Chain A
């Protein structure tokens, strides 16, 4: 109960009125009035349909919305949804909303949900993104059932994505997490996931919250701590991942909340990952990958231009991060035209590992290291787009598998770099 101090008195009172629960679904919002209504109804439907006899609560952690999001959550009636499942529901379904801060923070939102889960002694919990407008009631069952009925501690999602969506996940996060931690986890950074009360409590009890400062990407830290803590992990296929608006400016923030967390976690988990070899599959419900192939307009020319400009302009920064041979190889490919340009998997894995080692040694400001990786990532995805331009779903999957194998093959190099060499 040490985390009670995180929660406001009013929120604690509301939670005490709820009492102990079996199922908890967390919804972290920030001005999501446009989408939160249908999502909430789907969550209610999912709970009533799949867990009619269990005590359940929906916790809304709000980051200071000014569009009435919390009022929509607390005012949402469960009666309409209940009518659709009449005869099956035996319990009251509570919806509790709290404002954890005046400004949004994914870390504070997750902490609020974890603290509420601890206070209510929830057995199985799930976090749902307020932007997943295509959520279906089955998602709740798929995320919670493995925890509630099969004693898994963490359930991560697998989505149906376009072959050119989620490229940071496919080209860096998945291959590197797999190589470093030895688990074939498709979505190490998930906006929807399920977890056990045990994992949630253990993660909440870690001393990262007070001493580590406000950080992005705690969700990914939760996943890594589940892997390194040898918790039982599984994956479940949810469905189509809602396509988000794409802007070049979104890349660096996305890298800060994922790549920076992955690199940073390597400091504290060295003894685990340095003794991990190869990779093992994770129990999965549904297909391990599902790729959509329809046409998608992407400005490839701009990606190549930003890569070449980045390599030229950031040379003094790269000299502190990369080895001479890697930098020279990058300068060589940057000088090639679009037709001949190729950023091979071997060079990409070497680049990422040298960045990870430089981050580990803090050769320059860690945030600058993450920012410097962005133009190189653009070069890599240019190659990914070209390689898979006319590829089938199997071809895309095969290319991703080859990249993962390359990351696994190069892992001794990462170990060597992190153990002192450059």
Chain B
């Protein structure tokens, strides 16, 4: 009995040792890939941070309103956040390549899916950044034009434009990431349609006077009272 147990134990130990001996070089390769990946990811982070600082990316992000969002969420500035993101994505990518070297069954598919998802993640990030930039630019342009045209509720107009563009951008991002596509599409349709209907009703019924005033200003350019209200600038 003792011999059988001993023989089994010896066989099991030998198998473990054999398996380990078989795995050890792969493990070492994985660690080397992970370490090399860390170095490369760190370098990428450093290069990206320098390039973004040189390109004054933080100012662009401030203009787009992204910095304010990050501040509110207690997150680091956009340059730092983006370089950290690239670092982690690059390093994670290398770690996954390393893990794939181990040859563990079932993991390969997940790793492949991760790499296929990366381009969509980057596209989503670009979409949200430039979407916020566009929302900020157009809402500010509308605000300035409305203030200089002496239109009432300029801020409301500006906020509405920002909201509409943001809704549009967020729905695009969700669709790109493949998250709850149907729900997002439906929610976007309802929200956008409701907003437009609301505007149409408000402008058509509630703001008839405003609409007339706006159209008169836009098309009846020769109103005497307007000509005489300001001294000539030049």
Residues of A at the B interface (CB closer than 8 Å) are 164-169, 189, 243-252, 254-255, 258, 296-299, 302-303, 305-306, 309-310, 313-314, 317, 320, 362-365, 368, 371-372, 374-375, 377-378, 381, 385
**Which 10 residue pairs of A and B lie closest in terms of their CB atoms, listed nearest first?**
A168-B233, A299-B229, A371-B144, A254-B233, A164-B231, A313-B154, A248-B230, A246-B232, A165-B232, A167-B231
Give the nearest-CB partner of B224 in chain A.
A245
For the complex formed, measure the closest distance between the CB of A165 and the CB atoms of chain B, giving whole angstroms.
Answer: 5
Give the nearest-CB partner of B68 in chain A.
A316
Contact partners of B155 in chain A: CB under 8 A: 313
Q: Contact check, B229 vs A314: say whether CB atoms are below 8 A apart.
A: no
Q: Does B34 contact A (CB under 8 A)?
A: no
Give the nearest-CB partner of A168 in chain B.
B233
Q: If A306-B150, A309-B150, A313-B147 touch, does A246 touch B230 (CB 8 Å cutoff)?
A: yes
Q: Contact check, B232 vs A243: say whether CB atoms are below 8 A apart.
A: yes
For the complex formed, measure the closest distance between the CB of B216 and the CB atoms of chain A, giving whole angstroms.
Answer: 13
The contact sample of 29 A-B pairs, CB cut-off 8 A, is A165-B232, A166-B234, A189-B234, A243-B232, A246-B228, A246-B229, A246-B230, A246-B231, A246-B232, A247-B226, A247-B229, A248-B226, A249-B149, A249-B226, A251-B148, A254-B233, A258-B234, A298-B231, A306-B147, A309-B154, A314-B147, A320-B62, A362-B59, A364-B140, A368-B144, A371-B145, A372-B144, A375-B148, A377-B233
Query: Once the chains are docked, how many angstroms separate the CA of A309 from the CA of B155?
Result: 10
Q: Does B192 contact A (CB under 8 A)?
A: no
Contact partners of B234 in chain A: CB under 8 A: 166, 168-169, 189, 254, 258
User: CB within 8 A of A248: which of B140, B143, B145, B150?
Assistant: B150
- 5 extra interface residue pairs, beta carbon distance < 8 Å, beyond A244-B232, A299-B228: A249-B148, A309-B150, A317-B140, A364-B140, A371-B144
Q: Contact check, B233 vs A365: say whether CB atoms are below 8 A apart.
A: no
Query: Once the chains are docked, how many angstroms separate the CA of A167 from the CA of B234?
Result: 7
Q: Does B211 contact A (CB under 8 A)?
A: no
* Residue from A246, A298, A310 with most neighbouring chain B CB atoms (10 Å): A246
Q: In chain B, residues 115-157, which have Cβ atoms closer than 8 Å to a Cβ of chain A? A: 137, 140-141, 143-150, 154-155
Contact partners of B146 in chain A: CB under 8 A: 313
Give the nearest-CB partner of A189 in chain B.
B234
Query: Once the chains are docked, how many angstroms separate the CA of A310 from the CA of B232?
Result: 20
Q: If A364-B63, A368-B141, A371-B144 touch, does A166 touch B233 (CB 8 Å cutoff)?
A: yes
Contact partners of A302 in chain B: CB under 8 A: 150, 229-230
Q: Contact check, A298 vs B228: say whether CB atoms are below 8 A apart.
A: yes
Contact partners of B232 in chain A: CB under 8 A: 165-167, 243-244, 246, 250
User: CB within 8 A of B143: which of A168, A298, A305, A313?
Assistant: A313
Contact partners of B149 in chain A: CB under 8 A: 249
Give the nearest-CB partner of A169 in chain B.
B234
Contact partners of A372 in chain B: CB under 8 A: 144
Give the nearest-CB partner of B234 in chain A.
A254
Q: Contact check, B137 vs A365: say whether CB atoms are below 8 A apart.
A: yes
Give the nearest-CB partner of B155 in chain A.
A313
Query: Once the chains are docked, how many angstroms separate the CA of A255 from the CA of B234?
Result: 9
Q: Contact check, B143 vs A314: say whether CB atoms are below 8 A apart.
A: yes
Query: Once the chains are docked, how many angstroms separate the CA of A255 from the CA of B230?
Result: 14
Contact partners of B2 in chain A: CB under 8 A: none
Q: Does B72 contact A (CB under 8 A)?
A: no
For the complex formed, measure the closest distance between the CB of A400 and the CB atoms of chain B, giving whole angstroms.
Answer: 14
Contact partners of A189 in chain B: CB under 8 A: 234
Q: Contact check, A310 vs B147: say whether CB atoms are below 8 A apart.
A: yes
Query: Once the chains are docked, how many angstroms separate the CA of A363 from the CA of B62?
Result: 9
For the complex formed, measure the closest distance between the CB of A405 and the CB atoms of chain B, giving whole angstroms.
Answer: 22
For the complex formed, measure the closest distance between the CB of B229 and the CB atoms of chain A, giving whole angstroms.
Answer: 4
For B145-181 the 0/1 string (1 means CB < 8 A from A) is 1111110001100000000000000000000000000
Give the nearest-CB partner of A363 in chain B.
B59
Q: If A306-B150, A374-B148 touch, does A296 touch B231 (CB 8 Å cutoff)?
A: yes
Query: Once the chains are docked, how many angstroms separate the CA of A168 from the CA of B229?
Result: 15
For the complex formed, measure the closest distance between the CB of A229 and the CB atoms of chain B, giving whole angstroms.
Answer: 24
Contact partners of A258 in chain B: CB under 8 A: 234
Q: Does B212 contact A (CB under 8 A)?
A: no
Give the nearest-CB partner of B140 in chain A.
A368
Q: Contact check, B227 vs A251: say whether CB atoms are below 8 A apart.
A: no
Q: Contact check, A371 vs B227: say whether CB atoms are below 8 A apart.
A: no
For B38-72 the 0/1 string (1 means CB < 8 A from A) is 00000000000000000000010011000000000
For the complex formed, measure the closest distance between the CB of B132 and the CB atoms of chain A, giving whole angstroms.
Answer: 14
For B215-231 the 0/1 string (1 means CB < 8 A from A) is 00000010000111111
Query: Once the chains are docked, how many angstroms separate the CA of A309 from the CA of B229?
Result: 17
Contact partners of A310 in chain B: CB under 8 A: 147-148
